[in-house]
C-alpha cells in the first residue's frame, strides 16, 4: 500500500469516529456505586485515574471531584461501541485522545506542574495494561536514580539491601526501576560508598549530596564508571 493510500485510509478511519484511544469522566453522584466492578467486568484495556478532588478551573473555582478514564484498545473502535461501555459505568461524555503516553501521564498531571499532582501508584489498570510502562519516560528513570542517589547519601546507605527494602515498602517507582534495570548502577554506587567508608576517616565522609573524599585512583575510577553507566 502506498503512503498516500495509507494516509487516506487512516484519515477515513478518524472521520468515522473509529479510534483506539478514548476518554471519559466519572462523577460519583451520577455513576452506579459499583461502577468499578462493572468496568472490570467489561474486560477492556483502560486506566482509571486517582480521584481528582483538588482540581481548579481557569478562574480559580474548585472543580467537581471526578475520575478520568482512558481506554486504550488494541484495535479501532467506533464511538457507538465505546458509548455503550461508558453508559455501563455512568461516564459523562466521550473524548478522542491522540497520544497514549501524554494521555496516560495526564491522569496524574505528571506534566502539568500548575495542576494538582496525583500519585501514579493510585492509578487502576484493567485489561492487562501497565500504567508505568505506558507513561514513564527516560527522564523519569534518570530522575528516580538521582533521587535514590541522594537518599543513599543522606541516610548513609552502605548496602544495596537497605535501599531495596526501603524502595519496596515506600517508593514503588524506585522499586520498579531497581527490578528492571537500575539495580546494577545503584549497587555499584553503594559499594563504592562502602569502600569510601571503610578506607577514609569518618570526618571525611560526605554529608551533602556530593562525594568529596580523598580516593585512591582505583576507587575513583570505579565510582566514576558507575555513575556514568
Residue-wise pLDDT tens digits, 27-54: 999 999 999 999 999 999 999 999 999 9
pLDDT of 159 strictly over 60: yes
Q: How confident is the model at residue 9 (pLDDT cuts 50, 70, 90)?
A: very low
pLDDT of residue 139: 75
Nine cell digits for residue 83: 458509548
Is the pTM value of this prediction over 0.95? no
Half-sphere exposure of 217 (CA within 13 A, CB side): 0
CB neighbours of residue 46 within 10 Å: 22
The pLDDT tens digits for 90-111 are 999 999 999 999 999 999 998 8
**Given a cut of 50, is residue 57 above it in pLDDT?**
yes
Q: Measured between alpha carbons, how far is 135 from 91 in angstroms, rounded to an integer? A: 23
Kindly give, in sequence order, each residue whose CB lies less than 8 Å from that of residue 210, ignoring residues fewer than 6 positions away. Answer: none
pLDDT in tens, 118-146: 988 899 999 989 888 888 777 778 888 99
Once rounded to an integer, what is the mean pLDDT over residues 179-204? 82
Supply 53's cell numbers: 478532588
Q: All domains of the chain, ordered by start, with CATH? A: 3-135 (3.40.1310.30), 138-228 (no CATH)
Closest by CA position to 28, among listed 115, 108, 94, 89: 89
Model confidence at 198: pLDDT above 60: yes
When the pLDDT of each residue in the chain is averaged and rounded to a whole number, the result is 84
Amino acid at each position: 500500500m502506498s503512503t498516500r493510500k495509507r494516509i487516506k485510509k487512516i484519515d477515513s478511519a478518524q472521520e468515522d469516529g473509529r479510534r483506539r484511544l478514548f476518554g471519559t469522566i466519572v462523577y460519583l453522584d451520577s455513576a452506579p456505586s459499583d461502577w468499578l466492578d462493572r468496568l472490570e467486568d467489561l474486560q477492556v484495556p483502560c486506566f482509571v485515574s486517582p480521584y481528582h478532588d483538588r482540581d481548579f478551573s481557569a478562574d480559580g473555582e474548585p472543580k467537581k471531584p471526578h475520575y478520568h478514564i482512558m481506554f486504550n484498545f488494541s484495535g479501532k473502535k467506533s464511538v457507538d461501541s465505546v458509548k455503550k461501555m461508558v453508559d455501563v459505568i455512568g461516564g459523562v461524555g466521550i473524548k478522542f485522545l491522540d497520544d497514549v503516553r501524554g494521555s496516560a501521564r495526564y491522569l496524574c498531571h505528571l506534566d502539568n506542574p500548575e495542576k494538582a499532582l496525583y500519585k501514579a501508584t493510585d492509578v487502576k489498570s484493567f485489561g492487562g495494561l501497565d500504567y508505568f510502562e505506558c507513561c514513564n519516560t527516560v527522564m523519569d528513570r534518570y530522575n528516580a536514580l538521582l533521587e535514590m542517589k541522594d537518599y543513599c547519601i543522606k541516610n548513609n546507605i552502605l548496602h544495596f539491601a537497605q535501599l531495596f527494602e526501603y524502595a519496596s515498602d515506600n517508593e514503588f517507582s524506585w522499586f520498579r526501576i531497581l527490578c528492571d534495570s537500575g539495580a546494577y548502577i545503584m549497587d555499584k554506587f553503594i559499594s563504592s560508598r562502602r569502600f569510601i567508608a571503610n578506607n577514609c576517616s569518618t570526618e571525611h565522609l560526605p554529608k551533602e549530596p556530593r562525594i568529596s573524599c580523598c580516593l585512591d585512583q582505583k576507587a575513583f575510577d570505579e565510582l566514576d564508571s558507575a555513575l556514568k553507566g
